[in-house]
């Protein structure tokens, strides 16, 4: 089978490898779709934490279940996706229902080799039924679940104003599930094209571009004098993270979904006087995956609006770098196996 390695930042190469065999508790999947995410871009650019090279990237996956053991209820030949965060099941996080932040977590395509291959072997417990979704939909469940998890973490309520900073795929998914929760969503980004996407494709009513507008003044106008009561950073940009606290209402929650390598810092008085709640949001749980699938099936989320670019698996090595350019206009690039 063909497999694609990221050998070092900026360098891919294809290789041939024997078809993997499953062991007890494992499943073999023939890959049909791979979504390219920010983690993959950061790995290619050398800025991804928790990362070593060479590495097979890819964790937004959809495929055909070829063989398995210890997966009651699944059938050979059915369409599946996976929860790509493989957990130890024994640490304090796992024992308290938080396998998404397991102490010994192995994220497929990050800590261990991932899904940019014709076939992959994964733990059977990671399998997720398609419930009738297409391969395109299934490959988008994981990134949407990241946003859904952040919204759940913050306990977003109907009617409150929330601000999502960063209108990449993770930020867009966060906006989608804030809307599902009934919140009034404000999108913030310095990329006008992405703000237009928020408005015209996702139906986000309020947008702010801090590069061209007085962000605080605009937010106060939108909220009739208050700041947003929950802010979600989906940029993974240090400057944006450090600045986000200035947009938060007193008594509000600040949720860091985006990830970057450096230490962040806030003015302690600004943070303290708000009695702010700071939290991170890492990965997602099976409950989040099921919420996303249910929302797509109900028509609450149209995942197809996200896919702006398609590549065949054989094109990835030569075209991947092009996707990093702002002028490409990429929202979500999808790799197809034919």
Domains of the chain and any CATH numbers: 2-130+302-336 (3.90.180.10), 147-280 (3.40.50.720)
Vertex 293: Cα angle to 289 and 296 (nearest 5): 140
Tell me how far apart the alpha carbons of residues 265 and 100 are, in angstroms, rounded to a whole number.
25
Query: In 10 A of CB 336, how many CB atoms?
Result: 16
135 phi and psi angles, rounded to 5 deg: -60, -40
Pairing of strands 85-86, 106-107: antiparallel
What pLDDT is attached to residue 206?
Answer: 98
What pLDDT is attached to residue 46?
Answer: 84
Tell me how far apart the alpha carbons of residues 217 and 152 are, in angstroms, rounded to a whole number.
28
What pLDDT is attached to residue 51?
Answer: 80
Collect all residues with Cβ–Cβ distance below 8 Å to 229 and sequence separation of at least 6.
160, 161, 162, 248, 249, 251, 252, 253
What pLDDT is attached to residue 50?
Answer: 72
Pairing of strands 332-336, 307-312: parallel
219 phi and psi angles, rounded to 5 deg: -65, -45
What pLDDT is attached to residue 71?
Answer: 95
Residue pair 170/60 in contact (Cβ under 8 Å)? The answer is: no
What pLDDT is attached to residue 159?
Answer: 97
**What is the reported pTM?**
0.95
3-state secondary structure of 190: coil
Tokens 């699938």 locate to 293
Per DSSP, the residues of 144-161 read: HHHHHHHHHHHT--TT-E
State which residues of the chain have pLDDT below 70: none
Pair of tokens at residue 157: 């309520």
Query: Where are the extended beta strands (E) located within the chain?
Result: 2-8, 11-16, 26-36, 60-68, 79-82, 85-86, 106-107, 119-123, 127-129, 161-165, 184-188, 206-208, 230-233, 253-256, 277-280, 307-312, 332-336
């Amino acid at each position: 089978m063909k497999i694609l390695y990221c050998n070092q930042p900026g360098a891919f190469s294809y290789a041939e490898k024997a078809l993997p065999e499953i062991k007890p508790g494992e499943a073999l999947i023939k890959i049909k779709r791979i979504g390219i995410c920010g983690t993959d871009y950061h790995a290619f650019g050398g800025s991804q934490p928790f990362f070593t090279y060479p590495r097979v990237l890819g964790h937004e996956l959809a495929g055909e279940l070829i063989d398995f053991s210890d997966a009651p209820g699944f059938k050979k030949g059915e369409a599946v996706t996976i929860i790509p965060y493989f957990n130890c099941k024994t640490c304090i996080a796992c024992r308290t229902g938080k396998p998404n932040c397991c102490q010994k977590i192995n994220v497929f395509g990050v800590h261990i080799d991932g899904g940019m291959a014709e076939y992959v072997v994964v733990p059977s417990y990671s399998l997720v039924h398609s419930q009738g979704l297409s391969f395109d939909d299934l490959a988008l469940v994981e990134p949407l679940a990241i946003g859904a998890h952040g919204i759940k973490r913050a306990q977003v309520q109907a009617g409150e104003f929330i601000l999502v900073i960063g209108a990449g795929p993770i930020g867009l998914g966060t906006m989608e599930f804030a809307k599902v929760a009934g919140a009034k969503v404000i999108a913030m980004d310095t990329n006008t094209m992405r703000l237009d996407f928020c408005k015209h494709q996702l139906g986000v009513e309020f947008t702010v571009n801090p590069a061209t507008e007085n962000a605080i003044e605009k937010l106060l106008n939108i909220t009739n004098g208050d700041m947003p009561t929950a802010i979600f950073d989906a940029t993974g940009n240090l400057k944006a993270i450090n600045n986000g606290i200035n947009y938060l209402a007193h008594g509000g929650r600040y949720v860091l979904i985006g990830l970057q390598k450096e230490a962040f810092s806030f003015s302690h008085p600004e943070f303290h006087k708000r009695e702010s709640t700071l939290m991170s949001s890492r990965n997602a749980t099976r409950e989040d995956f099921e919420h996303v699938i249910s929302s797509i099936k109900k028509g609450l989320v149209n995942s197809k609006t996200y896919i702006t670019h398609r590549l065949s698996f054989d094109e990835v090595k030569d075209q991947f770098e092009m996707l990093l350019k702002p002028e490409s206009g990429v929202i979500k690039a999808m790799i197809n196996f034919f």
